[in-house]
Each structure stands twice: as C-alpha cells, then as structure tokens.
Chain A
Amino acid sequence: MSVLLLLTLFTAGFQISDFRLPAPLLAVAESLTNRSIAWPEWEQWKRVLLVQDYNTRVVMTGTGLLGMAAGLVGSFTLLRRRALMGDALSHATLPGVGLAFLLAPYLGLDGKSLSVLLTGAALSGILGVVAILYIRNLTRLKEDAALAIVLSVFFGAGIAILTIVQQVPSGHAAGLESFIYGKTASMIASDAQLIATAGLLSMIIIALLYKELTLLCFDEGFAGARGYPVFFLDLLLMALVVIVTIIGLQAVGLVLMIALLVIPAAAARFWTHDLKRMMLISSGIGGGGGLAGSAMSAVFPNLPSGAMIVIVCSCLFFLSLLFGRSRGVLVRIARRWDLNRSVDRQHLLRGMYELLEAREPETGSGAIGMPFSQLLAMRTWSSFRLLRQIERCRRAGLLVRHDNARLSLTEAGLAEASRLVHEHRLWELYLITQADVAPARVDQAADTIEHVLEPELIVQLEELLAQQRMSCGVVASPHPTIEQGRMP
C-alpha cells in the first residue's frame, strides 16, 4: 500500500504544472526503498534478545500489548462472522488522521501529537461505523457491500487529504504516511502507555460484558428476544474494533491491522472449542506475533515492521492449521486413521467369529485355526491391510498366528469378537424389525453405524429386542451368514 500511496502522490505531484517531483515525496520514496539488508552482528542480536535497548523495550511492550488486545477483540468479531469489519474500520480512520493534523492548529492543539491524531482517527472510525450501519440497515445492500464501500471511499478520502497534508510546511515531518504501513521504530514511551491504556480499557469492557457479547455472537435472535439491546452490543463490539485499530495504526499500519484482528483468532480456533481458552490463545498468538515481529524488525532495522508482525502471525496461523489440537489438519487425519484402524479390527474379529460359528455351531473355543485366504475373501480389503491388522491384533493379544498361515482367537479375542458380533446383530435386528430394511441388505447397513455404538445405546437396543435375545449372549444372525450365503 505504501507503494500505492506513493504512486498516487506522484501522480498528484505531476499535476502541478511543472513535472518536478516534490522534495518531501522523494524523501518518502527513499525511506521506503533505500533499505539494505545486512546480516546483523551478534552484538546486535544480543541487544535485542536481551531487550537491552530502552527503545526496543518500549516498542516490544507496545506491539505485544497491541497483539493481545487485538487477539481478544478479534475472537468476538471472528465468531460473529464479521472478520472483515476491522478492515473497513481501519481504512476508515485515515481521513480522520489527516483532518486532525490540518485542523488541530485552528483549535490550538499540536497537530503532530499522537493523541490528537488518534482522536481524529477514532472520530472518523466512528463515522465509518455509522456509514456501515446506514448502508446495511437503510438500503437493500448487504453487509459485504457496505464494508467494501466504506473501506474504499474513506481510504480514497484519506489519501486525498494526506496529499494535501504534504503541502503543509510541517506536513512531511509529521510522518502521517507511517499510519498506512506502520512504523514501530518511531514509538516512544508515551505511545506505549497509550496502547497499554486503550488495550486495558478494551480488556475490561470484554471482561465485564463477556457473557452478553458471547450471547450476541452465538445467537443474536435469542439475545434480542431476551431483551438484550442487540443493536448497542453490536455497536459496542464495533467500538472495540475501532479502539484496537487506532492503537494499531502506528505499529502495523491500517492496511495490515486487519491481520492482527483476524489471524490470531482464526489460529486459536484450531486449538480449542472453549471460548475462554480460545480468547487466551488468541491473545497469546497476537502478543507473541507482536513481540517477535517487532524484535525482528529491531534486528533487521530495514524490514518493514508491520509486515514482519503479520508474517510472524501468519506463520503461527499455518502451524496451528496443521498442528492445532482440536481442529488442526494433522489431528483430524490421525483421528480418521484411528477410526479406520478400529473399524478394520472390528471387521477382522467379526469375520473370524463368523467363520468359527460356521465351522462349529457350539462356539466353545476359539482355538481352532482358520486360513488367511478365507479371511481375505470375506471383505474387500488388500492382503497388506489385512496382514497389518492381524499383526496389530496379535500384539494386542487378541489372536494367535500359527505357522501354516492359520489364525486362531485367544480367550480375550473371542470375548471381544463375540461382543462385536452381538452388537452388530442387535443392530441388524433393529433395522429389520423397526426400519423395514430388507434382510439381504441389513449387514451392510448395520456396518455403517455400529462402529460408533455407545454402551447406553446397546442397553436400549437390548431392552427393545429382549424377546429376540438368545441365551448364550450372542444373538443369532437374522440373515444367512457364511455357510449358506457367502462361503467362498
């Protein structure tokens, strides 16, 4: 965006009758591009890592707190499915910054003071909120259009005003462009204090209204019906976004501010299902990203700080996406493997039991060996998959392998197998008697369900089917099994 800003500044510069580049703009261009990256000395590393510099300490405190506050507020906006609202509101602050600088002298204030500029930013951010609500509630347009309109129009206005600010004698020195792409290096102790105050304020509001905001995000309709002022809670949430945004302007800039609001919260979502924990993790990721990012831009002073903070946060996001404990991709793959493995095991044990049953109606002992080939033919599984499963069951002590490629169940294996077969047949019976499933298909139908049977369901099934129960504990199969139908 800085580049874009400069582009516009240049075009603007060109319209002034002589086509000479205005000196202040040239300086801006240099500040952005004339940066050489050199590998820092060890001394420099040490200074940053041990936070020896007073300046680094200030900057890191500021960005860390900012990340934490943004992570907290971002959790709510994410859950309210308004993740991109922050994008529109942060862009909406720019005209306020410029106007505050231009108008401050007339009010007897110092246009360069951060608090004046941020007040302007807050005011125009609030105007942005009003504009979003106006478009959403009073026209036929939907939310996404409202956000995009506010974002682009306010930003356009901001650029136009900043171009004018450049023409004021002290305008360039004010460094307003740093609000667009962020510049942590210029942060001083009072700025960090401001961030801390605002961040603390938003944390207190969230702590006080935690359950109301949760309700708003979860079920707006219910909240309204219970008499909560939904509109004002919504407004409050947007106000929180504005607060966090304006304190983030200096550190990461308005274009990348949205990253701090969205990325930590989205990343935290992969780790937990608990909202409180999610907010903790989210603020941790935001704070960590802020610390690490500003540390890196302190070590490599020529890297743009805002971008570094965002890149660190996105790295954390992708790590969470992969490794997140509750919804991460790897965990889900592992769970699927687990399920498939337990399904395979159940199939194997049940297959062995059915073979056994066919061989010897009086299921007394599982010690009779059965050939591998027969098991393989029972289902569509590869011999590799079957072998692996057999090996696993053997290690669990459920079956024994004999040398002539024959297998037999152990005592424990038999017990487990008869339990599984019992459950499977209970389901079959239920489906036949209650759900009108044809006996020819019932095996397959029961197969899809039984792997998740919970004990209480089994009890209910048994009660329901009490009359069909066999005395031996394992119900007889309601459809022809191996000997008539499926014997290979």
Chain B
Amino acid sequence: MNSSLPLAVNDLTVAWHRKPVIWDVDIEVQPGQLVGVVGPNGAGKSTLLKAIMDLVPKASGRVEIFGQSYRQSRHRVGYVPQRESVDWDFPISVLDVVTMGLYGKIGWCLPVRRKHRDIALRALEQVGMSDLANRQISQLSGGQQQRTFLARALVQDADLYLMDEPFAAVDAATEKAIVEILRDMRKAGKTAIVIHHDLPTVPEYFDAVVLLNMRVVACGPTKDVFTRENLERTYGGRLTLLDEATEAMRRRERTL
C-alpha cells in the first residue's frame, strides 16, 4: 500500500474466454510522469487500460490507484477512450460531451449548471476548441473529436489519466496541442498513461515507457528502457507456440 504511487499493477492477467490477453503484468508508475505504452497490434494495450478501470474482468492480479482500489479512487482517474468507441451521430454538442466528464461530480438527477459549463468551456479553451463549443459532434473532424475527448478528461480534474491512442490519425496541429496539454499536466503534478503507436516520437513525448506484448517486456525510464534491443524483443519474435496453445485453449473453451 503506497498511496503516493498513482498506479501499481501487480501480477495482472486478463483473459477473454480464458485466452490470456495480457499476462502477468507488473507496472509501477511514479507520480508526475508521462508514461507511454508501446507494443504491436493485439498486444493487449487497450485491455490493460480497461482492466485498470475494471471494465473487463481480471483473471488474477491487483490494481492499486493511489493505494486504493479503482472503485475507491474512481474520481481521481480520467479516461480518454478510442475515438471509434462511440457513435458520433449522437445528437449532442461538443460542450455536452465535455460536461459529461463532470457528471460524476454533479451526482444523480441534478442538472448541469452554469459553473459546470464554465469549467467545460475552460477545458475547451485549453485544447483550442472554444469556438466550436456549440458545434454538433457529427460535424467534427477526427482531430477535433480527439480534442473533445481530451477536454472531457481535463474537466474530470483527475490525478491519473488513461488515454487510449489519443494520437491515432490526428492532424499535426492536434498532435502538437495534445503534447502541450500533456506537458501542462505534468507540470501540475498529474500522471498520464498514454497508449502510443508512433515509435520515433516516444523519447520526445514520454518520461517512461512500458513495452507491452502480452506481457511486460520492459518498463522504466525512457532513456534506459527504450532501446533497440528491447524494441526487438517487443516487436520481433512473436511467441508463436504460446499463441498456438492459447488458440487451442480458446477453441476448446468455446465449445464449453
């Protein structure tokens, strides 16, 4: 129990239909760091974030956020899901989406008030979208959708942010804006765990990295861990036999 650690993951295994998706993950994240999670497709990066937030059942292991379970420290965690996870035809405005981050604080049945809208507007200003606050979400570009999600996470005023590929398919301006915001967060002592795809920018953006391929290949400060050798171990040599065996296991389980 260390209440100063934003995130401590112990021995975490997640299985879908008993096929392990991530396996035996141990991570400790220091406060005030930007942490990149890097790994090939299907390495279980999104699953790791979802398991941290109890959105998928854990097969085993323990997750502690500031020394408490996720349920207890839910208000200190902000989540930025992948853009594709929601229906962008939904009839609401950008401001509506951003205020959603405050619903937990507002509580059951109480309406959204002016002060909440002001908070949301400030967050939109931060991501450079204040002029689009009343735009309908169906009219946003990919980068703008991502910034909207980021603003929603910002209003949650969390201490630990979990972001699922915020840089995926966004324009250069958005990428720059997101990086700026991440740095501001770090200055404010917040921690962010970011799933990232673009390897060359990792040393520039992140203080620490987690190299993930079903299991944690390496984890630590970027300058120590983000080495060619570790990357080869992450991206190269897939565990073919393990894949085969888990596949066989899944086939068997599916008939159960």
Direct A–B contact in the complex, CB atoms closer than 8 angstroms: yes
Q: Known contacts being A335-B255, A335-B256, is A449 close to B215, with CB within 8 Å?
A: no
Q: Known contacts being A435-B215, A436-B217, A452-B252, is A457 close to B245, with CB within 8 Å?
A: yes
Q: What is the bound-complex CA distance between A451 and B252, given in angstroms?
A: 10
B157 at the interface (CB under 8 A from A): no
Does B241 contact A464, Cβ atoms closer than 8 Å? Answer: yes
Contacts A/B (CB < 8 Å), 18 sampled: A326-B255, A332-B255, A335-B256, A336-B256, A339-B252, A339-B256, A427-B245, A430-B241, A435-B242, A436-B217, A437-B215, A448-B20, A451-B249, A452-B245, A452-B249, A457-B244, A457-B245, A460-B241
A430-B242, A434-B241 known; 16 other A-B pairs, CB under 8 Å? A140-B89, A332-B256, A335-B256, A336-B256, A339-B252, A434-B237, A434-B239, A434-B242, A435-B215, A435-B239, A441-B11, A449-B245, A452-B248, A453-B245, A457-B241, A461-B241
B23 at the interface (CB under 8 A from A): yes
Q: How far is the CB of A139 from chain B (nearest CB, A)?
A: 11
Chain B residues lying within 8 Å of A427, measured Cβ to Cβ, are 245
Q: How far is the CB of A424 from chain B (nearest CB, A)?
A: 13
Which single residue of chain B is at the shortest CB-CB distance from A435?
A: B239
Which single residue of chain A is at the shortest CB-CB distance from B246?
A: A449
Chain B residues lying within 8 Å of A460, measured Cβ to Cβ, are 241
Chain A residues lying within 8 Å of B245, measured Cβ to Cβ, are 427, 449, 452-453, 457
Q: What is the bound-complex CA distance between A427 and B245, given in angstroms?
A: 10
Q: Known contacts being A339-B256, A435-B215, A452-B249, is A445 close to B23, with CB within 8 Å?
A: yes
Q: What is the bound-complex CA distance between A454 and B251, given in angstroms?
A: 12
Closest 3 CB pairs of A and B: A452-B249, A336-B256, A452-B248
Q: Which of B199-240 contact A (CB under 8 A)?
A: 215, 217, 237, 239
Does A441 contact B241, Cβ atoms closer than 8 Å? Answer: no
Q: How far is the CB of A335 from chain B (nearest CB, A)?
A: 5
B175 at the interface (CB under 8 A from A): no
Proximity bits, A424-463, B CB within 8 Å = 1, else 0: 0001001100111100010001001101111001001100
- What's the interface size class on A, roughly? 20 to 34
Does A441 contact B24, Cβ atoms closer than 8 Å? Answer: yes
Which single residue of chain B is at the shortest CB-CB distance from A456?
A: B244
Q: How far is the CB of B227 from chain A (nearest CB, A)?
A: 15
Q: What is the bound-complex CA distance between A161 and B65, given in angstroms?
A: 65
- What's the interface size class on B, roughly? 20 to 34
Q: What is the bound-complex CA distance between A16 and B57, given in angstroms?
A: 62
Does B241 contact A454, Cβ atoms closer than 8 Å? Answer: no
Which single residue of chain B is at the shortest CB-CB distance from A460?
A: B241
Q: What is the bound-complex CA distance between A451 and B244, given in angstroms?
A: 13
Q: Which of A158-172 contact B (CB under 8 A)?
A: none
Which single residue of chain B is at the shortest CB-CB distance from A437?
A: B24
Q: What is the bound-complex CA distance between A460 and B18, given in angstroms?
A: 23
Q: How far is the CB of B123 from chain A (nearest CB, A)?
A: 28
Which single residue of chain B is at the shortest CB-CB distance from A450?
A: B245
Chain B residues lying within 8 Å of A461, measured Cβ to Cβ, are 241
Chain A residues lying within 8 Å of B241, measured Cβ to Cβ, are 430, 434, 457, 460-461, 464
Q: What is the bound-complex CA distance between A429 and B239, given in angstroms?
A: 13
Q: What is the bound-complex CA distance between A460 and B246, given in angstroms?
A: 15
Which single residue of chain A is at the shortest CB-CB distance from B248?
A: A452
Q: How far is the CB of B207 from chain A (nearest CB, A)?
A: 24
Q: What is the bound-complex CA distance between A140 and B215, given in angstroms?
A: 42
Chain B residues lying within 8 Å of A434, measured Cβ to Cβ, are 237, 239, 241-242
Q: What is the bound-complex CA distance between A449 and B245, given in angstroms?
A: 7
Q: What is the bound-complex CA distance between A427 and B249, given in angstroms?
A: 14
Contact of B249 among A332, A336, A437, A449 (CB under 8 A): A449
Q: What is the bound-complex CA distance between A461 and B241, given in angstroms?
A: 8
Does B248 contact A457, Cβ atoms closer than 8 Å? Answer: yes
Which single residue of chain B is at the shortest CB-CB distance from A331?
A: B255
Interface centre among A326, A436, A453 (most CB of B within 10 A): A436
Q: What is the bound-complex CA distance between A435 and B246, given in angstroms?
A: 14
Chain A residues lying within 8 Å of B237, measured Cβ to Cβ, are 434
Q: What is the bound-complex CA distance between A435 and B217, given in angstroms?
A: 9
Chain B residues lying within 8 Å of A430, measured Cβ to Cβ, are 241-242
Q: How far is the CB of A305 from chain B (nearest CB, A)?
A: 39
Q: What is the bound-complex CA distance between A339 and B253, given in angstroms?
A: 9
Q: How far is the CB of B190 from chain A (nearest CB, A)?
A: 31
Q: What is the bound-complex CA distance between A455 and B20, given in angstroms?
A: 21
Interface centre among A140, A427, A449 (most CB of B within 10 A): A449
Q: What is the bound-complex CA distance between A61 and B244, given in angstroms?
A: 52
Q: What is the bound-complex CA distance between A339 and B255, given in angstroms?
A: 11
Q: What is the bound-complex CA distance between A214 and B156, given in angstroms?
A: 49
Q: What is the bound-complex CA distance between A435 and B215, given in angstroms?
A: 8
Chain A residues lying within 8 Å of B256, measured Cβ to Cβ, are 332, 335-336, 339
Q: Which of B85-130 contact A (CB under 8 A)?
A: 89
Q: How far is the CB of B242 from chain A (nearest CB, A)?
A: 6
Q: What is the bound-complex CA distance between A452 and B256, given in angstroms?
A: 13
Chain B residues lying within 8 Å of A435, measured Cβ to Cβ, are 215, 239, 242
Which single residue of chain B is at the shortest CB-CB distance from A140?
A: B89
Chain A residues lying within 8 Å of B252, measured Cβ to Cβ, are 339, 452
Chain B residues lying within 8 Å of A441, measured Cβ to Cβ, are 11, 24
Which single residue of chain A is at the shortest CB-CB distance from B214?
A: A435
Q: What is the bound-complex CA distance between A464 and B242, given in angstroms?
A: 13
Chain A residues lying within 8 Å of B23, measured Cβ to Cβ, are 445
Q: What is the bound-complex CA distance between A445 and B23, given in angstroms?
A: 9
Does B244 contact A445, Cβ atoms closer than 8 Å? Answer: no
Q: What is the bound-complex CA distance between A57 and B240, given in angstroms?
A: 62
Q: How far is the CB of B253 from chain A (nearest CB, A)?
A: 8
Which single residue of chain B is at the shortest CB-CB distance from A438?
A: B24
Chain B residues lying within 8 Å of A336, measured Cβ to Cβ, are 256
Chain B residues lying within 8 Å of A326, measured Cβ to Cβ, are 255
Interface centre among B237, B252, B255 (most CB of A within 10 A): B255
Q: What is the bound-complex CA distance between A457 and B23, given in angstroms?
A: 21
Q: What is the bound-complex CA distance between A464 and B244, given in angstroms?
A: 14
Chain B residues lying within 8 Å of A452, measured Cβ to Cβ, are 245, 248-249, 252
